Every structure is written in C-alpha cells, then in structure tokens.
Amino acid sequence: MRVSILILILGMGLVTFLPRFLPMAFLTRWVIPERVKMGLGYIPIAILSAIVFPILFFNEGGKVEIQPHYLLSAIPVFIFAWKVKSLWASVILGMLVYWGLGFVL
C-alpha cells in the first residue's frame, strides 16, 4: 500500500471512529436526564425520515426535483411495509417495483 493512501485511510478511520465512539463511551457512564432520553427516542424516526424523504425529492446532482421513479416505487413499499412489517420482503418488493417501472417510465 502506498504511504499516502495509508495516511488517508487512517485519517478517515480516526475521524469516523470518534463520533461513533465518544457518545457511547461517555453516555453509558453518565446519568441521562429523562428529557434527553425522550429526545433520543425520536432519533431513529428523525434520521430515517431525513434519509428517505430527500431521496424522493432530489436528483443525483443535489438539486430539488421530484423523482417519479423513486416516488412511485416508494408508495407501494410504504403501504406493504405498513401491513407486513418484513424488512426482507420490503427490500425484494421495492427492487421488483423499481425494476419493473424502469421498463415503463
């Protein structure tokens, strides 16, 4: 491995590890106030929304633009996931619908 790439990888590894590790290292040892715990309870839903919604409304260049292919695929997956809470089946369904729509759109 080239030294420049090794330095790059170690640097990236370190700055990625610290935000992953430090909260866990400290907060597992501190007493957490109830209200903070309550807020942390909303982190999964907040982050998941922040991941899913922009996929539907931004193009690859990062400009606002409705993405019909993603949007039309997302709706059946959303309804299916609501009825059948299966990760596996949702992923397969999503891929099939997206693939199928590719022939139509």
Q: Does residue 103 bind other proteins (CB under 8 A)?
A: no
Least Å distance, CB 40 to other proteins, is: 5
Site map (CB under 8 A) of other proteins, residues 60-89, x = contact = --x-x-----x--xx--xx--xx--xxxx-
- What element of type H or E holds 63? none
Nearest to 68 by CA among 94, 102, 95, 92: 102
* Binding positions for other proteins, 4-23, rule CB under 8 A: 4-13, 15-17, 19-23
State the SS3 of 66-89. CCHHHHHHHHHHHHHHHHCCCHHH
Q: Does residue 98 bind other proteins (CB under 8 A)?
A: yes
What backbone torsions phi and psi does residue 84 show, to the nearest 5 degrees?
A: -115, 105
CA–CA separation, 80 and 76 (whole Å): 6
Least Å distance, CB 21 to other proteins, is: 4
Site map (CB under 8 A) of other proteins, residues 28-57, x = contact = xx--x--x-xxxxxxxxxxxxxxxxxxx-x
Least Å distance, CB 98 to other proteins, is: 4
